[in-house]
Amino acid sequence: MAGSPAPVAFRPIHTRRAFEEICDRIREQLARGALKPGDKLPPERDLAQQLGVSRNVLREALRSLEMAGVLRLQKGVKGGAFVQEGDTSRMNVVMRDMLSLGTISIRELSEARVQVLDLVVRLACANARQADFEALQANVERTELFTREGRLLERVECAREFYKLLGLACGNKVIAMITDAVTEIHMRFVYAKVASSGVAMTRLGERRRQFLAALRERNVAAAARLMRNHLGAVQKMLEQDPGAMSLQIALAEINSGMK
């Protein structure tokens, strides 16, 4: 009667809970440099008392930070909560969750991967160093070994590593992290496809050799073209025999810790 509800959308208030406060305080210490990788937090019993909370609540916070890759909890005397080196694979977990929740689609992920890899190839051409070439070379040789011996599933793992090395060859860990994030799940699909159908990419070693040669010559146009073609071929392989794979099945395998 006296006016309809206002059209503004109110976001629900998250009542501030103890464990959130604790997480933030610890992150704050990390940000200001008071805590660094390798450092140890006080024992749970002490820290709980310092913060004025129960041990249970403190543990909820520590667990959350452990899941976030910030802490590592270790038992025993001389154990404790240690600040970890940053775990770059946390971004993969986020990507996986987004996919599981339907926030992003496998199609969007694949498209993004193509674009990111195009960028990565250009950057790698510009920035790759001798050590990067050697690591990629060794990877290609392992790929060919697995091909010869018919160890196709191991070859898929090898392929994932190839893209990881390529990301690192850009000389920028942020780019490397993004590259791995958009690649990991894709390779899980490939793995599941190969495992279920037995089909796999033909002439993979040859393709890799050509690509690496272009990279070594810092021939951006050639390297980018080869990568584009390769990704297209892989996509075609994945899409043939439709219905043999489903998002649910592949994701379920991913989460059941296939690796």
Residue ranges in contact with a copy of itself by CB under 8 A? 12, 15, 19, 23-24, 27-28, 30-33, 36-37, 56, 59-61, 63-64, 66-70, 74-75, 83-86, 88, 90-91, 93-98, 100-104, 108-109, 111-112, 115-116, 118-119, 123, 172-175, 177-178, 182, 248, 251-252, 254-257
Q: Is 73 in the site for DNA (CB under 7 A)?
A: yes
Nearer of residues 136 and 251 to a copy of itself, judged by Cβ: 251
Q: Is 148 in the site for DNA (CB under 7 A)?
A: no
- Choosing from 2, 9, 77, 101, the residue that interacts with DNA (CB under 7 A) is 77
Contacts of 137 (CB under 8 A, 6+ apart): 212
Nearer of residues 11 and 148 to a copy of itself, judged by Cβ: 11
CA 236 to chain centre: 24
Nearer of residues 104 and 152 to a copy of itself, judged by Cβ: 104
Strand, coil or helix: 30 = helix
What is the DSSP code (8-state) at residue 72?
E
Output b/e per residue, 104-123; b: 16+ Cβ within 10 A: eebeebbebbeebbeebbbb
Residue 102 contacts which entry, a copy of itself, DNA, none (Cβ below 5-8 A, type-dependent): a copy of itself
Q: How many residues does the chain have?
A: 259
CA-to-CA distance for 133 and 215, rounded, in angstroms?
Answer: 8
Nearer of residues 49 and 127 to a copy of itself, judged by Cβ: 127
Residue 77 contacts which entry, a copy of itself, DNA, none (Cβ below 5-8 A, type-dependent): DNA
CA-to-CA distance for 84 and 74, rounded, in angstroms?
Answer: 12
- Choosing from 26, 53, 158, 250, the residue that interacts with DNA (CB under 7 A) is 53
CB 179, CB 112: distance < 8 Å: no
Within 10 angstroms of residue 68's Cβ, the number of other Cβ atoms is: 14
Q: Is 56 in the site for DNA (CB under 7 A)?
A: yes
Residue ranges of the alpha helices (H) in the chain? 18-31, 44-51, 55-67, 90-100, 106-127, 130-148, 152-168, 173-197, 204-216, 220-239, 247-255
Q: In whole angstroms, how close is the CB of 209 to a copy of itself at the nearest point?
A: 27
Q: In whole angstroms, how close is the CB of 54 to DNA at the nearest point?
A: 3
| Residues forming the site for DNA (CB under 7 A) | 15, 17-19, 41, 43-45, 52-57, 59, 62, 73-81
